[in-house]
Structures are given as C-alpha cells and as structure tokens.
C-alpha cells in the first residue's frame, strides 16, 4: 500500500534490495540501507522500535529523516500506526510535518584488548554474561568518581532511550529535547543507588573491577563485545544525530499517556 500511495503522489519509490524482494516491490532497488538513506528524501520504516534502531545503525550517519510506522507493540519511536499512513503521507506532501533531531551516543574503549567504537540511539549497557553474578563497576564523570556499582550492570541512556531499558530498571523519563544522559544501575546491590542525570557534554567512564566474570558491552540491545578486568568504556554524546519525522503536530506527553496507558485527571 505504501508504495502505491507514494507512486500515486508522483514520487519515486526506492527500496533496499532485500526488502524489495521480500515484499515484491517495484521501482528502484538499492543494495544497502546506507546507500538508500544517502539517495532518499525520506525513509519509511515498518516495524517496532527495534527495527528503527537497526535502521539507525545501518544508515551509517546519513541524514535522511525516518518516518516510523508501528506494526509492533509499544513503538515509542514509530510516529504513526499503519492505518494512519494515508493521512500521514498527505500531510507530508503538504509540508505539514516536523523533523526532530535525536542525539546519538558514542561508546569507545579497549575491550578484550582490542579497540572498539560503536554508536547507540537508546543506550549503552554493561552487564554480566550468561551466568547471573554480580559485577562491580567503577564509574567516573568528567574525571571525577561517581561511585562503584555492584549489581547486574549499568545502563547509560540518551533521552530517547529513557523510555526503553532504562525505564524498566527504574530510570527517569526524559523529554527528547533535554540535553542530558542518564546513568541507571541494573538491580543494584545497594538500595541507595539511584539513577543519576548528567549533562550530555559529560564524559562517562565505566571501569570493570570484577575478575573472572563474563561481562558484555551492548548498544541498543545489540551485543558488541566482551569487557576484561581493568578495561574502561567511555560514553559520550556523538557528533551526529538521527532525524525522526512526525506528520502534523506531535506531543511527547500525549505519546507517554497513550503508550504507557496512564490514567488520571489531566486537561
């Protein structure tokens, strides 16, 4: 349906080759998501938040805006439902939309003796491996020690990621335009440990203290590498960002109420 609506509006339909073959789409076929993003004015991404996160990784820094069409469950990043797509496209053709810049994070360090650099839209997570054992992490912000966490791990999230894993771990909900990062422990052994919100200009360093415990570094739920005792992962705001398109007016707070099924009195 989407391809037909785009063609009817006099726009050119292009798609990544694997998607075109799966959906039997006509039109221009491009080998990779990164190449498609470089050649397109708008990317339509069908799925849930996980699909959008995957596309964000595959875009390799291209600036084309993404319109997320939710065919999953919660879908905080997906702007509209599939049934709303015809109306949404009409608004886009009339230039009735906003483009929201979402900050990316950059994680780097020596992991198992090898240099690693990766990017995340939602979060960077340092956690134990398959064996459920407490790990000990020493955390510093801008060279000043924050604390030493003992627990299942640590989540460093962007404002976008505040409604993902961080929220499940008791972290704060942060509006997308806030220029901050949240540091949230996962099942901390000390009840006094709570989330800490720092400026996005901060340099967050996490050092693994534990010995002989498998520890994993993952970005947006995608496992990247292991982490060895004494090794440090540095997390900071990345230079590049992701552009999300919203047809018409949008409200983050209305999305919260609807997605989280909040009830109560409000105007």
What per-residue confidence (pLDDT) applies to 192? 83
Q: Which class is domain 2-96+248-259? A: alpha beta
Contacts of 199 (CB under 8 A, 6+ apart): 179, 180, 181
Taking only the tens of pLDDT, the chain with its 267 residues reads 788 888 888 899 899 888 888 888 888 899 899 999 999 999 999 988 889 999 988 887 888 999 999 886 767 888 788 889 999 999 999 999 999 999 999 999 999 999 999 999 999 999 998 888 999 999 999 999 999 999 999 999 999 999 999 999 999 999 999 999 999 999 999 888 899 999 999 999 999 999 999 999 999 998 889 999 999 999 999 998 999 999 987 788 888 888 888 876 555
What per-residue confidence (pLDDT) applies to 264? 67
Q: How many CB atoms lie within 10 A of CB 198?
A: 16
Contacts of 234 (CB under 8 A, 6+ apart): 107, 108, 109, 203, 204, 205, 206
Q: Where are the domains of the chain?
A: 2-96+248-259, 104-240
What per-residue confidence (pLDDT) applies to 251? 83
Residue 141 burial (C-beta neighbours within 10 Å; 0-12, 13-18, 19+): middle
What per-residue confidence (pLDDT) applies to 7? 85
Is the whole model's pTM more than 0.85, yes or no?
yes
Looking at CATH, the fold of the domain delimited by 104-240 is given as: Tumour Suppressor Smad4 (2.60.200)
What per-residue confidence (pLDDT) applies to 71? 84
Q: Is 49 a catalytic residue?
A: yes
Radius of gyration over every alpha carbon of the chain, rounded to an integer in angstroms: 20
What per-residue confidence (pLDDT) applies to 225? 93
| Phi then psi dihedrals of residue 217, to 5 deg | -105, 125
The active-site residue, picked from 49, 123, 152, 220, is 49
């Amino acid at each position: 349906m989407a391809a037909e609506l785009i063609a009817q509006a006099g726009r050119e339909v292009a798609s990544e080759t694997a998607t075109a073959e799966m959906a039997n789409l006509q039109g221009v076929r491009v080998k990779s998501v990164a190449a498609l993003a470089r050649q397109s004015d708008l990317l339509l991404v069908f799925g849930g938040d996980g699909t959008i996160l995957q596309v964000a990784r595959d875009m390799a820094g291209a600036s084309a805006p993404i319109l997320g069409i939710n065919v999953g469950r919660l879908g905080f990043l997906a702007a509209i439902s599939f049934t709303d797509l015809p109306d949404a496209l009409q608004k886009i053709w009339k230039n009735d939309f906003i483009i929201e810049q979402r900050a990316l994070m950059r994680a780097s360090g020596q992991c198992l003796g090898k240099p690693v650099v990766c990017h995340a839209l939602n979060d960077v997570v340092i956690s134990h491996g398959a064996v459920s054992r407490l790990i000990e992490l020493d955390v510093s912000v801008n060279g000043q020690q924050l604390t030493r966490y003992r627990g299942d791990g640590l989540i460093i999230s962007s404002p976008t990621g505040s409604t993902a894993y961080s929220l499940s771990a008791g972290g704060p909900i942060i509006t997308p335009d806030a220029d901050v990062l949240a540091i949230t422990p996962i099942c901390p052994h000390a009840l006094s440990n709570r989330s800490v919100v720092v400026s996005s200009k901060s340099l967050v360093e996490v050092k693994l203290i534990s010995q002989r415990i498998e520890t994993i570094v993952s970005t947006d739920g995608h496992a990247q590498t292991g982490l060895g005792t004494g090794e440090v992962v540095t997390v900071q705001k990345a230079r590049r960002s992701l552009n999300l398109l919203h047809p018409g007016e949008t409200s983050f707070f209305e999305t919260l109420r609807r997605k989280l099924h909040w009830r109560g009195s409000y105007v």
